[in-house]
Structure 1
Amino acid sequence: RGVVPPSLSYNPTPGTPINLSLGGFGGTGGASIQVTPVGGSGSGSFATTGLNCTITGNGAAAFSVSPSSFSFMPGSSSATIGLSCNAGQSPLLATLLCNESPGGSTGPQQSWPLQCPAALPIPPNLNYDPSPGSTITFSPGSGLIGTSTTASIRITPSGGFGTGFAATAQFNNCRISNESVPGTISGFQGTSFTFVGATTAVQTLNLSATLRASAVTGTLTCDQVLPGGGQRGSVIITPRSWPLQVAAGTQPAANLRLLKTASAQQVQVNEEFSYNVQASNVGSSPEFGLVVIDQVPSALTILSAAGPDWTCRVDANTVDCRLPELIGGRSADITIQVRAPNTPRSIANTARMTSLSTSTALVSSVSVDVVAPPPTPVDLAIDKSDSADPVRTGSSFSYLLAVSNLGAGDATGVRVEDVLPAGVTLIAATGPGWTCSGSSTISCTLTGVLAAGASSSVSIEVTAPSQATTLNNRATVSANEPDSNSANNADTESTSITTEPPPPPPLRADLGISGNAVPASVLTGQNVSFEIAVGNIGPDPATAVLFDGALSAALEAIGASGNGWTCTVNARQVECTRTSIAVNATESLTVTARVLPGATGIADMALQVTSSVTDPVLANNASRVAVSYQAGGADLSIVKTDSIDPVAAGAEFSYTLTVSNAGPEAASGVVVSDTLPASLSFVSASGAGFTCANTAGTVRCTLATPLPAGASAAATIAVRAPTAGSSISNEGVVSASTNDPNLANNRSTQTTQINDRTAEQISDLLEEAAVDPASEAALPVVSAECADPSSALADVCDEILDAADDGRTGEVTDALRAIAPDEVLAQQLVLREIATTQFFNVDARLNELRRGGGGFSLSGLTVNSGGQSIPLSLAGDALQAALGYGDDEGGLISPWGFFVNGNITDGKQDLRNASGRVGVDYSSRGITAGVDYRLSNRSVVGAALGYAKFTSDVNTGSELDAKSLLLTGYGSYYVNDRFYVDTRLTYGNVKLDQSRSIRFQIGGMQVDELARGDADSTQLTLATSMGYHLNYGAWTVTPNLGLRYIRNDVDAFTETGAGAYNVSYRDQSFKTTQATLGLQIGRAVSLDTGVLMPQFDFSLISENSDDPRAQASLANGSSSQLFRLDQQGSDSSYGSAGLGFVYLMANGRQAYISYRHTFGNDDFDRGSLNLGGRFEF
């Protein structure tokens, strides 16, 4: 049975390009090849197919293969060739070679092209010290209460790669939670650290804390923000937390004292009184952070709480007062005004005080007894009058008994007694609310209560005696309550009884007045209505009625009116009149008043009414109405507006925050605050009467003076919009130290639309930075890219626009210059110098020929023999004629010659930004070898092949290298013995290798990229020159003229390696014409071994070139805008001077060396060294 090794099948098949895919962020790619054995038979080494794999190529070092060797027998399982690579900034290429060895013999070699794509950007890992979750203990761990202690977190980045958003990690949005003593820990506010790519710069978050009386704990949480890997702008936010521990501080000497007292130890129900809380510092050092808390018992009503230098707030029944500092030896008082409850009780009240230096609260208490008021005494007065006097005998008349309560208390059980005189007969005794009994002694009792200030009357109708007499009738009044004035408890009326008819009685009208306040309780600054009723209980109508009202100092009158009344108002005095009030009628009027802001004392109105008619009862003609009030505060409101909407991105606009005070009181300590969104840049803030400051993006404007009720004030905040379009909502807040009864209108939000800037707007913004041809060429491209939010340059666009908006024009100019690919303009210089290298080498050969090499043109050479000199040219002609020159190969000198000439050139072109001239520092090494044939003693033709290698540094950090292979055909003809004409035609290919550095810093972004590109160029050169030899003994002087034409055509090419900054160049063409006028001076020196001919040449060169121009566009750009690169003023004139030596030796051998240097051009400098040799064959 035969032994056959298996054949191998591959997936993918050999020759298939393999692109090693990257597994997400990072720099490692992978791929594999499946190898399957097919067929075969037998066993042993001859039935085994071996496979050994290696990787070759320029990028092989970045690739690996594992495993690299296999053995397959018939029936073996498939195997996998594993491939991996470490990606770099640009794609890497290599080739996988796998050699098969079937049965131990040499088999076929399989190959696969490999490509490792450019590494994706990756954000750095953030390492924390201490690590998240570890407890951070502040140091030092001890100290006086109120002093500071610190702690820190070090953040070290590592492992990042690339630039831009996808390579950026952030650490921000730090906050404290569960802080056992709020306000202890600080330093974290506004923290924002950014780490980009391969940075290793360490950032430190420094925390500080204030030592308290007890240990303080809390938790610090900050967000770690990484790119999300999705669409641009998506992020992954990971909270990082650390428990915090701040040790307790050391208690200093106890210097604080707290004393609480009451204005009275005993008060009546509903009576107002006050507590005084006094904080004292008996030490010599100041105490800080004093806080007094008084939990006022709920039975008491808090009317106010204040104290000089204290900031007090009342929340329900809790008084919270704070004092930043109390210096040594001083005290500070707080007054708390309260109202007692309506039922008797004993009330204990405790105040507690803490400070930064106290570990235990200081406590002080006081008790107040609330008692019922003593019985209020009444003052009953009775006024007795008769309806007629005199009265005719036997006629009826009546007694009117008017009872008034002039006291402060209500009277109950009011009784009136009247003992009728003899002969007087009772008809009836009546009165509203009265119950009367008896016939001779009349007793009447009032049902209910006779309130303080009220009055009531009883009418007793009687019949006069039948005889004429004088009646003296006495009536008394009494009540259940003690009467403070018994002198007015009885009244006697004397009535004459006559037989004559009595005169008519005088008119009488008993007016009464009462009132109430609506509402019964108001705030300062609010209006109150006093509703007043004036009544007439007769017995006659009241005429010419006059009402007079006097307001207390806490009130001001606004107006008064009533049906039938005519009123006048003057400050706190109100007067109203009317024609009359009928019997038993009541007329109403209303007085409107306002409780003055900041009012103190009682707010009431004294009422009084009179008329032109006699009033039998004056006690009820006056009354007083009071209204209770509390401080009304200041109702502040704010309205926020924007100056422009929509706003162009990056433009300045302003917010106006208008604060209005609706009263009723003036507002003190008015503060307008505005926390600006992070995307807005603060410019300025001001306002009439305001002092404004910006701290970490929060603008606070403080009004220097109180804002009166009804007034308004405005602050203006100027900002700059972000560079990208968005919708921004911004809120303004107003606050004051004066109580605000309505907080709902203390905030105002304004939403402003930010529109993306157009390319034209961006161009106008950046135009100031385009100061030279390079930056001008970049301007339209950058403007178009920055107008597109999806542009690959979006990140750097944000920084460029921010810099332009901030006036950092120099940074913008540097960025535009770096982005502009003006380095390509150096190609014209490089190609021109390559042509010059070949020209110098061929020209050196022609110069050798003119100096006598190969027997061609022996002009100027002589043979010295004894005292005679014979021109070598004549000797040569004779010898050649005699020997039959040219007829066979045995001539005097061979017509064929071979030469090798070398050229070493170093030069530079100075950088001139203003004209667009790039700076080039270059060196060139060239070698030219050729063969020429002498057609006759006057003409020669030849061909030469030249190779040159050119290296140059362009601007800063960029390079342009070139390699050329040029073929030149040349010829020279002597018209006569002295006058010659040379011609050269060159054509060839130049390979250009460009490395362009894009390096600049703009704002916080550092850009450092390297773009690489290769281009092919063809070159055509045509040159001609002529000269005339003048001989002066051993000296030869040769004036000469020359003309050269150079044309270069460069193919389009595209850069790689610089990401968004890569550029695609269009085809380019350059033409240069050079005219020369020169003088060459040489001398022949005979030596034992040959002839040495030193020579000096001097040339003036006029160069006319196309201004270097190039057009290019961003390879990955979002717009079609072109870089239109242009170097101005390329024409120049300069000189060249050189010194050389030609050495002629036997058998047609020759050596040549010369050095030339340019002069007269401030922007260009070149030195060239030529070496050459010639041999016959």
Structure 2
Amino acid sequence: MQRSIKSPRWLQFALATLTTAALAQALPVQAQVEGNIFPPTLAYTPASGTTINLTGVTTIGSTGSGQILVTPSGGMGSGAQATNVITCGFVGNNASAFGVAPPSSSFTPTSGPTALNLSCTSSAATTVGTLSCNEAPGGSSGANRSWPVTCPAGTPPVPPTLSYAPPTGSTINFQPPNAIVGSTATAQIRVTPSGGSAGSGSAVTTKLDNCALTNETIPGTFGGFNTTLTFVGNTSAPQNLNLTALVRTTAVTATLTCTEIRGSSGPLGPDGNVFTRTWQLQVGAGTPPSRLSIAKTVSAAQVLTDSEFSYTIEVANGGSSAESGLIVLDDVPSTLTVLSASGAGWNCSVIGNAVDCRRSSLIQNSSSSFDILVRAPSTPRSITNTARATSQASSSSIASTVTVEVVARPQVPVDLRLDKRDSVDPVLTGAEFSYTLEVANIGDGTATGVVVSDTLPNGLTLISASGAGFSCGGTTTVSCSLAGPLAPGASASVQVLVRAPAQEATLSNTASVQSDAVDANGSNNSDTETTVVSAEPPPPPLPRADLAIGAQAVPASALTGQAVEFQVQVSNNGPDAAAQPRMSATFATALDVRSAAGTGWSCQITGQNLECNHTGLSVNARADIRVQTVVRPGATGVADARFVISSPTADPLTGNNQTTVSVPFQAGGSDVSIVKTDSVDPVRAAAQYNYVLTVSNAGPEAATGVKVTDALPATLSFVSASGAGFTCTRSGQNISCDLGASLAAGASAAVTIAVRAPTTGQTINNEGVVSSTSIDRNPANNRSSQSTRINDRTAEDIEALLDDAAIDPASQAALPVVADECAIRTSALAEACTAIIGAADAGHTSEVTDALRAIAPDEVLAQTRVLNDMGATQFFNVDARLNELRRGGGGFSLSGLTVNSGNQSIPLALVGDALQEALGFGDIENGLVSPWGFFINGNITNGDQNENLADGRVGVAYDSVGITAGVDYRLSSRSVVGGAIGYSSLSSDVGSDSTLDAKSLLFTGYGSYYINERFYIDSRLTYGSASLDQERAVAFQVGSSVFDERAIGETDATQFTLASSIGYHLNYGAWSVTPNAGVRYTSNDVDGFEESGANEFNVGYEDQSFSTVQFAVGVQVARALSLSSGVLMPQFDISLNTENGDDPSSEAYLLDGSTTETFLLQEQNPDSSYGAAGLGFVYLMGNGRQAFLTYRQTFGNDDFDRGTLNLGGRFEF
């Protein structure tokens, strides 16, 4: 819990007085006011005097911007004395190019920060202005603040350039070709901008304008060109110039000329801003409009119910050219029953009541017709029917309508016929016999209320009277009434059983029939039968059998090619058995009789005739026959069959011995269907697979003109299409295969289409379609789709695809990384992967190789060469000093120098005091100059390492400068030790467009010891560090995709070198010859580092370590020349060198990579042997001064070349 402590009032007053006094001291005199009122102080960000660089400038004339934030603090009170006002503006020669807003701002103790917004208008050069702001605290003059403000130079505005499709100078053909005269054809010019600089205004605007026509063969044909297309700045969005043309009877051409204006209007090209673009326009001659007409008539304007009648549809071509693709459609009203549709040259199909008749062509000034046979409904009505016709050339259908009146049938008269017969004649007295009274309706009307009457003669006794459907009564006069109607063609019979009289007689018995209807022919309404009654028994009667035959077709109507079964019923109505019945039949040629069979029947088919024989048929027995037929495909005419039954047994009633059955039929067409399957699913990306499209015909007729089409999706690449009997063609992605022969009912045929899958995973939906020129009864099965899953390529797939392009260590190092990354859709390398895989699929192996090399960061291997050469710089500089120190221990090195005296050569080291005294320097006591020496040596080196892609060696061309300074001390006349520090700077070009710069600081301890006057041994130990700055170009083009990035990285390295050499001096007069040998071991450690600037191509490098061992053997030749001012010693050396070491290698990884796969970079066969030769001069002067100059050059190695210039000096201290 916090508690507040209130200070005494006197303490508060004292604090307020002190605070006011302090503020008064801090403020300018003008701002000090009484009553504790004073303005706030102002702070500026950036501070006054800081250079402000405006940003946002693009092209010349564009605007740059910047900001100064003014923040008030402190102040007390209100009013003018508590207000600080700043007024700002630009001063100087360039003030007009700059602006500040607001120019004036006021700040009170309660004000918040305010921004001063700076702006400038750019010019071709950088503009510098000065912003000056004056403060007025409390109304008085205050401090002046100023800032240098820089407005960057703008780039010259570049308007976009335009490309055209189709290109300028080409001919533009309007579509569609052969359009209808008077219709409109269209064409398009697609204009695509590119290369414009960002910004707005006329300077960065390109227009396509002022389009006009010349040489238009029929004026007024073309249109749509009076449109201005405007492209501003760096837009890349294309625009279209949409052209139109009125189709005329002849072809029309014209020249379209447009003006392309880039930026501000200038003189006409080619070097100005205005360019002329031209195209030739052409629209082909049109097709005259259709002159088709259609006329529909009916066979009778008035037809009876349930009767058959026909429509005739005539199509005429009154034009001057043939019409093709005629189609007539007639949706016959549902109250009618369509029986058939046919006509010469027409191909008609009937589905339900829809009639579709087609004709391939109709020549000019001719006509053609077809008939539709229908059956009227059973009730009267008025029926209107319309037919419509179209053709390929017609833009709309034409129609014709006809009306028919269906009226009721008139009353049809009834014609009853009575047939009376006795069962036996003569008959014995007192015996029973019967009369059969058969009533037949042979009229067209139905008889109702039928009554049969029979008045029996005297002497006959009625026993019974009966008949199916009859009700009988009476004794002397028998009356039988039929319960139901008697239809036309039907019959019914009554059996009257009687007993003959006891005496002989000749009986005459008459029966009659009548009905409610008027009988058209009353003469056949009665019949008389005479019967003889005899006391003598009659001879046995001959057998009689009433054979009857009936038949029906199942189905009652059919299509061509459809099976029809005739069901034949043969029955024996008695009174006796029928011996050896024979059924014979004759079939119309439209029917193909296949088989016939029935129980007890033996059948034989001969062409269109059939005969079936039975052993015998008992009374009231029935024997059926089934006859199998097919309505022949393509049949015309009628399809009926006539059946006749006969027997050697007498038939008392022959009217029922034959029957005829007719089968209405119409063209059945075919039923072609298609099933599409794929050969494999799922499919690897870019793999080849097949579609099999199997076409079947379910009949009933053969299918002609069978065509299989397949519009391949754009993502699939077509390989081939074939099928037995098919001829396949291709137009773009559209495949069409035509079957050369017809496809029989029940047959099938297949087309195989080979395709290549896309390179990325997806689902492909592909549909195959079959069609034919025959009527197709079921178009619903004419399409079949197949869905195929395409799997993304695996890393192994991609590596195998790119393997042929990995032909050297660099591309081989990139291969596993690229393969793994490209197998992942979300990889940072996705864009490059798409281009590389596409090139590999297209067989552009060299482009893939270049891409793999560019992605592989093998430039890092150049660090080996660079570090070794920087170590060599220090080695050579120290070696140069050791050359001076041979044999002596400080100051001058006297070893190897000689003085000529008479005929002998005396080593300079042995001359001793005399020579030193003569030269005027040296230490008489020690025989040497001074034990201490200081030297400074420098060198300039340039070298080349040739690129060898097969060995993974990167090309390096470098230049370096180095300087080494040191001090040494002579321990004795035979030994010396020293230390040196060396600095070198190297810059190199790596590969085609990469760089590697390095700087090193190395420390060396060295020593030399003479075992005797001639034999020496030297040793050097070096340690130091280096910094490496690498800039790697990642540039390659694959197809139309261009990649150009630069990866920047920097790292540090340490180096350790241990070297030793031996030599032996041989003196020949003034000459000194020194054979020598040496070994040098160098070890380098490079820190891992990461790149930036190359987006997805940035890599990180692991730590590197590598070492080399160099062996050298050589000889040095020198000659001492005494001069008045000193001794000049020219010297020449030559050595043979061999370098052995670790294969330069590095492991790297993509910084934004999606996998852990790494680049394994390694140079193969780095060991080398070479020679080196050097020529130099050492100049010894008085007072301990020395100078030397040496140039050394390698030779004998085609892969490596290095030249080094060493120079230096020494003085004693």
TM over 0.5: yes
Q: 2:189 aligns with which of 137, 149, 152?
A: 152
The residue correspondences of 1:217-616 to structure 2 (distance < 5 A) are 269-271=307-309, 275=313, 277=315, 279=317, 282=320, 290-293=325-328, 295=330, 298=333, 301=338, 303-304=340-341, 317=354, 319=356, 321=358, 323=360, 336-342=370-376, 352=389, 356=393, 386-391=422-427, 451=488, 500-557=536-593, 583=619, 590-616=626-652
Go from structure 1 to structure 2 and tell me whether the alpha carbon gap of 1:317 and 1:77 turns closer, same or farther (over 3 Å shift). Answer: same
Partner of 1:168: none
Partner of 2:74: 39
Q: 1:662 aligns with which of 693, 698, 701?
A: 698
Residue 75 in structure 1 maps to residue 75 in structure 2:
no
Q: What is the Cα deviation at residue 765 of structure 1?
A: 4.8
Residue 1139 in structure 1 maps to residue 1175 in structure 2:
yes
Cα deviation digits, residues 1102-1161 of structure 1 (max 9, x gap): 100110111222222233232222211111111122333444556555444333322222
Q: What is the Cα deviation at residue 628 of structure 1?
A: 2.4
CA distance in 2, matches of 1:74, 1:406: 130
Say if 2:418 and 2:527, in contact at 8 Å, map to a contact too.
Answer: yes
The residue correspondences of 1:126-145 to structure 2 (distance < 5 A) are 145=180
Partner of 1:226: none
Say if 1:853 and 1:1144, in contact at 8 Å, map to a contact too.
Answer: no
Range with greater deviation from structure 2 (295-304 or 831-840): 295-304
Q: 1:1081 aligns with which of 1117, 1134, 1156?
A: 1117
Q: What is the Cα deviation at residue 1014 of structure 1?
A: 0.6
Partner of 1:117: none
CA distance in 2, matches of 1:450, 1:664: 38
Q: 1:837 aligns with which of 866, 873, 883?
A: 873
The residue correspondences of 1:71-150 to structure 2 (distance < 5 A) are 75=109, 77-79=111-113, 145=180, 149-150=186-187
Go from structure 1 to structure 2 and tell me whether the alpha carbon gap of 1:258 and 1:755 turns closer, same or farther (over 3 Å shift). Answer: closer
Partner of 2:997: 961
Cα deviation digits, residues 289-335 of structure 1 (max 9, x gap): 65554557646848446876989998965647475x88xx7789765
Range with greater deviation from structure 2 (988-997 or 705-714): 705-714
Partner of 2:945: 909
Partner of 1:985: 1021
Q: What code does the residue aligned with 2:555 have? A: P
Q: What is the Cα deviation at residue 1034 of structure 1?
A: 3.9
Q: What code does the residue aligned with 1:912 have? A: N
The residue correspondences of 1:966-977 to structure 2 (distance < 5 A) are 966-977=1002-1013
Range with greater deviation from structure 2 (804-813 or 360-369): 360-369
Go from structure 1 to structure 2 and tell me whether the alpha carbon gap of 1:791 and 1:1083 turns closer, same or farther (over 3 Å shift). Answer: same
Say if 2:1067 and 2:1073, in contact at 8 Å, map to a contact too.
Answer: yes
Q: What is the Cα deviation at residue 780 of structure 1?
A: 3.3
Partner of 2:1042: 1006
Root-mean-square deviation (Å): 6.1
Say if 2:341 and 2:355, in contact at 8 Å, map to a contact too.
Answer: no
Q: What is the Cα deviation at residue 1075 of structure 1?
A: 0.6
Go from structure 1 to structure 2 and tell me whether the alpha carbon gap of 1:887 and 1:1151 turns closer, same or farther (over 3 Å shift). Answer: closer
Q: 1:1168 aligns with which of 1201, 1204, 1207?
A: 1204
Go from structure 1 to structure 2 and tell me whether the alpha carbon gap of 1:943 and 1:531 turns closer, same or farther (over 3 Å shift). Answer: same
Q: What code does the residue aligned with 2:942 have? A: D
The residue correspondences of 1:988-1137 to structure 2 (distance < 5 A) are 988-1002=1024-1038, 1005-1085=1041-1121, 1092-1137=1128-1173
Say if 1:413 and 1:445, in contact at 8 Å, map to a contact too.
Answer: no
Cα deviation digits, residues 605-641 of structure 1 (max 9, x gap): 3222234431122232111122223333333444444
Partner of 1:617: 653
Q: What code does the residue aligned with 2:1161 have? A: L
Go from structure 1 to structure 2 and tell me whether the alpha carbon gap of 1:1096 and 1:253 turns closer, same or farther (over 3 Å shift). Answer: same
Tell me the number of residue pairs that the alignment of Structure 1 and Structure 2 aligns: 1050
Say if 1:381 and 1:488, in contact at 8 Å, map to a contact too.
Answer: yes
Range with greater deviation from structure 2 (545-554 or 820-829): 545-554
Residue 815 in structure 1 maps to residue 841 in structure 2:
no
Go from structure 1 to structure 2 and tell me whether the alpha carbon gap of 1:1032 and 1:761 turns closer, same or farther (over 3 Å shift). Answer: same
Say if 1:724 and 1:754, in contact at 8 Å, map to a contact too.
Answer: yes
The residue correspondences of 1:675-714 to structure 2 (distance < 5 A) are 675-676=711-712, 680-692=716-728, 695-714=731-750
Say if 1:507 and 1:614, in contact at 8 Å, map to a contact too.
Answer: yes
Range with greater deviation from structure 2 (1155-1164 or 517-526): 517-526
Say if 2:996 and 2:1031, in contact at 8 Å, map to a contact too.
Answer: yes
Over the matched positions of the two proteins, sequence identity in percent amounts to 50
Range with greater deviation from structure 2 (346-355 or 473-482): 473-482
Go from structure 1 to structure 2 and tell me whether the alpha carbon gap of 1:1028 and 1:871 turns closer, same or farther (over 3 Å shift). Answer: closer
Go from structure 1 to structure 2 and tell me whether the alpha carbon gap of 1:416 and 1:535 turns closer, same or farther (over 3 Å shift). Answer: farther
The residue correspondences of 1:763-778 to structure 2 (distance < 5 A) are 763-778=799-814
CA distance in 2, matches of 1:143, 1:1132: 77
Go from structure 1 to structure 2 and tell me whether the alpha carbon gap of 1:729 and 1:295 turns closer, same or farther (over 3 Å shift). Answer: closer
CA distance in 2, matches of 1:7, 1:873: 81
CA distance in 2, matches of 1:1159, 1:199: 57
TM-score for both structures, normalised by structure 2:
0.71
CA distance in 2, matches of 1:108, 1:1069: 57
Range with greater deviation from structure 2 (1089-1098 or 849-858): 849-858
Q: What is the Cα deviation at residue 521 of structure 1?
A: 2.8
Range with greater deviation from structure 2 (1012-1021 or 606-615): 606-615
CA distance in 1, matches of 2:867, 2:134: 48
Say if 1:1048 and 1:1071, in contact at 8 Å, map to a contact too.
Answer: yes
CA distance in 1, matches of 2:173, 2:582: 81
Q: What is the Cα deviation at residue 1064 of structure 1?
A: 1.5
CA distance in 1, matches of 2:292, 2:550: 52
Q: What is the Cα deviation at residue 1048 of structure 1?
A: 0.8
CA distance in 1, matches of 2:564, 2:345: 31
CA distance in 1, matches of 2:192, 2:1117: 75
Computing the radius of gyration over CA atoms, which structure comes out larger, 1 or 2?
2
CA distance in 2, matches of 1:813, 1:84: 52
SS in 2 for 1:998: strand
Go from structure 1 to structure 2 and tell me whether the alpha carbon gap of 1:575 and 1:754 turns closer, same or farther (over 3 Å shift). Answer: same
Q: What is the Cα deviation at residue 965 of structure 1?
A: 1.9
Partner of 2:818: 782
Go from structure 1 to structure 2 and tell me whether the alpha carbon gap of 1:465 and 1:433 turns closer, same or farther (over 3 Å shift). Answer: farther
Say if 1:680 and 1:719, in contact at 8 Å, map to a contact too.
Answer: yes
Go from structure 1 to structure 2 and tell me whether the alpha carbon gap of 1:8 and 1:303 turns closer, same or farther (over 3 Å shift). Answer: farther
Cα deviation digits, residues 204-234 of structure 1 (max 9, x gap): 89999995999xxxxxxxxxxxxxxxxxxxx
Q: What is the Cα deviation at residue 831 of structure 1?
A: 0.7
Say if 1:519 and 1:529, in contact at 8 Å, map to a contact too.
Answer: yes
Q: What is the Cα deviation at residue 543 of structure 1?
A: 4.6
CA distance in 2, matches of 1:738, 1:340: 23
